[in-house]
Chain A
Amino acid sequence: MNKAVANEQVNQLMVLKLNGIDLFVSQDEVVAHNDKQPLGYLENRQDAVGVINYNNHDVMCFYLNGEFEIQNRVPADFVTSVILEKNNYRIALMCKEVVQLEYTGLTLQDIPDCMSVKRSPLTGFCVYRKENDDLHLGMMTDTTSLVNYVGI
């Protein structure tokens, strides 16, 4: 079911630009994003690209390609790391770019039952309108779903 949401009732959204696909996440969960953040070596997770120290926590950093597959080789133009945090769960992702979403209207929608799969970072869709522009669709995620998806 659609959930019409007034702008003032929803948290601002950040757009994580991945390889050919964008992930939308509540700005509240984005606690840091940096360009060319040094990555520490992580011994026990071959699929992670490294570890980032944030507030004395080691946060595992991952790179998802356009199919949401976990890859341990990051393309050269993916220099931005974003750290997401919610309810003491933390995860970092390598992105091409992280931008704040500018929109004039927003509707949230659940993933349809016929598309729902157990192992996906997606939590739903959003439909938004840019000023004087057509409607656009975004794919929503959150920290918990990403943590579960990569299996931290």
Chain B
Amino acid sequence: MNGVSAWVMQLDHVLSAAVGQMELIHIVDNPELIYVPKAPSYCNHVILWNSMVIPVLDLSAWLNDSTLVYRRNLVAIAVYKDKKGGLKYGGLHLADTPALQTVTNDDACNLPVSSSLWQKISISCFSNDEHAPIPIIDIPKIFSDALMSIR
């Protein structure tokens, strides 16, 4: 059966999430993370990429309500449209290089029960023989101000 391609991303040593193939446009290995005081703890760094300031979001920290833990310094650059239709870019902390995977309707499943927060930021979820349920995250939503009000 035909499917669509999605990038499966390791957010930490346990959590995985996916985004559409065209939403992830670049991986930056070992970027200079610049600390921004007073920003939310899960998003208090930016990087310079293509002459732009990119916020770097730690979804693992947001989901676990914890501070940053040690991981490989790897940032995925996602592209999305904001409410006004303008192109925006955001970064996601990753624990490892993402993998491209084909997803079909038959792979649909329920969201992980590990956190009720998944349903606030996910479009859907899939699973296959190799993986536990992998939420497909709503990129425009996580880079809006929504995460601040959900918790």
Contacts and interface: CB of A to CB of B under 8 A. Distances in A.
A66 interface: yes
Interface stretch (B51-59, B68-76, B122-130): B51-59
Interface in A33-73: 66-68
Interface string B75-90: 0000000100010101
Interface stretch (A7-15, A76-84, A89-97, A111-119): A111-119
A115 B36 contact: yes
User: Which of A66, A109, A116, A119: most chain B CB closer than 10 A?
Assistant: A116
Nearest to A112: B55
Give the interface residue-count category, chain B.
Answer: 20 to 34
Nearest to A65: B37
Interface residues of A, number: 23
Given A67-B37, A125-B53, A137-B34, A114 B143 contact: yes
A147 to B, nearest CB: 16
A116 B145 contact: yes
Contacts of B48: 127, 135, 137
B33 to A, nearest CB: 11
B131 interface: no
A127 B90 CA distance: 17
A114 B145 contact: yes
B82 to A, nearest CB: 8
B142 A68 contact: no
Contacts of A109: 52-53
A2 interface: yes
A66 B44 CA distance: 13
A21 B36 CA distance: 9
Contact of B143 (A68, A112, A127): A112
A100 interface: no
A116 to B, nearest CB: 6
A1 B44 CA distance: 19
A121 B40 CA distance: 14
B38 A1 contact: no
Q: Which 3 A-B pairs have the closest CB atoms?
A: A120-B38, A112-B55, A115-B39
Interface of A: 1-2, 21, 66-68, 107, 109, 112-117, 119-122, 125, 127, 135, 137, 139
